[in-house]
Amino acid sequence: MTKITIAKGDGIGPEIMNATLEILNAAGARIETDEIEIGEKVYLSGNTSGISDESWDIVRRNKIFLKAPITTPQGGGYKSLNVSTRKFLGLYANVRPCISLHPFVETKHPKMDIVIIRENEEDLYAGIEHQQTDEVVQCLKLISRPGCEKIVRYAFEFAKQQNRKKVTCFTKDNIMKQTDGLFHEVFNEIAKEYPEIQNEHWIVDIGAAKVADTPQVFDVIVMPNLYGDIISDIAAQITGSVGLAGSSNIGEECSMFEAIHGTAPDIGGKNIANPSGLLQGAIMMLNHIGQSDIAEKIQNAWLKTIEDGIHTSDIYNEDTSKQKVGTKEFTKAVINNLGLKPSILISANFTNSGEIKMPKYIRRAPSKKELVGVDMFTHWGDTDPNILAEKINSLGIKNLELSMITNRGIKVWPNGFKETFCTDHWRCRFKKEDNSMMSNKDIIDLLEKLNNENLEIIKTENLYSFDGKNAFSLGQGQ
């Protein structure tokens, strides 16, 4: 018996969770459940995290969490519990298989069978946002080497375990050379350790277009958090319905299993929802906890039900379906089919689908890190960068040189274009006049000088080189 935590969530959550548990029990899953309350009710009772401390204790004790979708109320500073659960529990790998069920579920992509592996802890989902001036807000995109190494290695290990032939990486490193550049670089490094698996990289925009147009050219695709969030919804939807896909969120200690869709408030409580997404999540959970025999039995019964044309309304189609059913009727049909296999769709074989054991991340030796400059960001109300440069250059700053001013990343001084639109958020880049290394004392002196002249510095970013290589972006146009 494995003890798992369950949460029924909001909207269609309770209906699809009840359906899933009914099927798991009927199939003989060797699980016991601890139910916790999370989501809207908990948020609205005044808990801004959407979960109580006691519930966290249960989730951490059981380590395996089957979760229905929840609503995060808008406004009021409520933090998304989905995002915090993934981050608090270190669930770095989000695995989202998207497979078409042709000819039983209508799709333009009959041969689609892809698995999206989404980095789950970092990127823009760090949720570090600030308003810095009247006109400009920012969101920090954080990408780490451990984050990249763990997710990329997981993707290759997953491909190896599942006997898949190719791992593709999506990034936008032509624009974000540091952040997405690191993800791509780590992908290239780790791909070399798996010579038996093909590897390739696509820029995410054309890659996403290709997923929507010809998904059959892909196999496993690994990508940073935000791209993975968006593209996995597209991928699930084009198999026939977002209601068909489940996902696992895997960490070193704990894991969480869920549907990829949300609470579907438009159909909540109406016995319309397709429980397949959460059921697919539960099947991934059963494989993870070593109950592949039960996982296989349920998957085959589910495939048979789809093949029998017994469909919920999201996938019902007069040409391909036989009977339109509600959540409860679909559940009964799956239970009736336990022990049977599909005859046209490929039946499940989960002999090699257990938990993937990953090596611990090993930190590298530190590089030689040198401070070579500083970016000072200022809130300044004029629109002419020449005046800002003149003001700074008249301050008599010793040893340091103003080398560039940018506005929203584009170089506007020296030699900017008069056509460039400027906001009240300016970046002023300083380097040593002789291009030598800087010290923190140089930065403090500079801040004092700028402060004395009433230039409002809203933040500074140090410019470093690592092992002699500059590790910061140039201004656009520099």
Residue 312's nearest CA partner among 327, 322, 301 is: 327
3-state DSSP assignment of residue 396: coil
Q: Residue 373, interface with ligand NAD (CB under 6 A)?
A: no
Among 147, 207, 262, 281, binds ligand NAD (CB under 6 A): 262
In the complex with ligand NAD, the residue whose CB is nearer, 69 or 215, is 69
Structure tokens that stand for 307 in this block: 């093949």
Q: Considering only residues 76 through 95, tell me which ones interact with ligand NAD, judged by CB under 6 A.
A: 82
- Which one of 104-112, 115-123, 255-263, 373-381 is the stretch in contact with ligand NAD (CB under 6 A)? 255-263
Q: Which residues have a Cβ under 8 Å from the Cβ of 440 and sit 6 or more positions away?
A: 371
User: Quick one: which H or E segment has residue 33?
Assistant: strand 31-36
Q: Residue 184, interface with ligand NAD (CB under 6 A)?
A: no
In the complex with ligand NAD, the residue whose CB is nearer, 40 or 307, is 40
Q: Residue 282, interface with ligand NAD (CB under 6 A)?
A: no
Distance, CA of 68 to CA of 10 (rounded, Å): 8
Question: Nearest-CB residue to ligand NAD?
Answer: 262
Q: Residue 228, interface with ligand NAD (CB under 6 A)?
A: no
Q: Residue 258, interface with ligand NAD (CB under 6 A)?
A: yes
3-state DSSP assignment of residue 93: strand
From the CB of 12, what's the least distance to ligand NAD, in Å? 6
The label of the residue with tokens 């993800």 reads: 183
Give just the sign of the alpha carbon dihedral 64, 121, 234, 43.
Answer: positive
Q: Residue 266, interface with ligand NAD (CB under 6 A)?
A: yes
User: Quick one: which H or E segment has residue 376?
Assistant: strand 369-379
Alpha helical stretches, state H, 11-52 = 13-27, 40-44
Distance, CA of 435 to CA of 465 (rounded, Å): 12
Distance, CA of 268 to CA of 314 (rounded, Å): 13
In the complex with ligand NAD, the residue whose CB is nearer, 83 or 410, is 83
8-state DSSP, 126: G
Distance, CA of 409 to CA of 377 (rounded, Å): 11
Structure tokens that stand for 402 in this block: 């103003």
According to DSSP, the β-strands at 113-119 and 323-324 are unpaired
From the CB of 274, what's the least distance to ligand NAD, in Å? 4
From the CB of 313, what's the least distance to ligand NAD, in Å? 7
Q: Residue 267, interface with ligand NAD (CB under 6 A)?
A: yes
Among 208, 223, 264, 388, binds ligand NAD (CB under 6 A): 264
Size of the residue set binding ligand NAD (CB under 6 A): 20
Q: Residue 69, interface with ligand NAD (CB under 6 A)?
A: yes
Would you give the binding string for ligand NAD spanning residues 288-327, x where CB under 6 A is met? Answer: --------------------------x-------------
8-state DSSP, 243: G
Distance, CA of 105 to CA of 224 (rounded, Å): 30
- Which one of 18-26, 27-35, 70-78, 157-165 is the stretch in contact with ligand NAD (CB under 6 A)? 70-78
8-state DSSP, 461: E
Q: Residue 243, interface with ligand NAD (CB under 6 A)?
A: yes
In the complex with ligand NAD, the residue whose CB is nearer, 222 or 267, is 267
Among 94, 171, 225, 274, binds ligand NAD (CB under 6 A): 274
Summarize as ranges the residues that interact with ligand NAD (CB under 6 A). Answer: 12, 69-72, 82, 242-243, 258, 261-267, 273-274, 277, 314
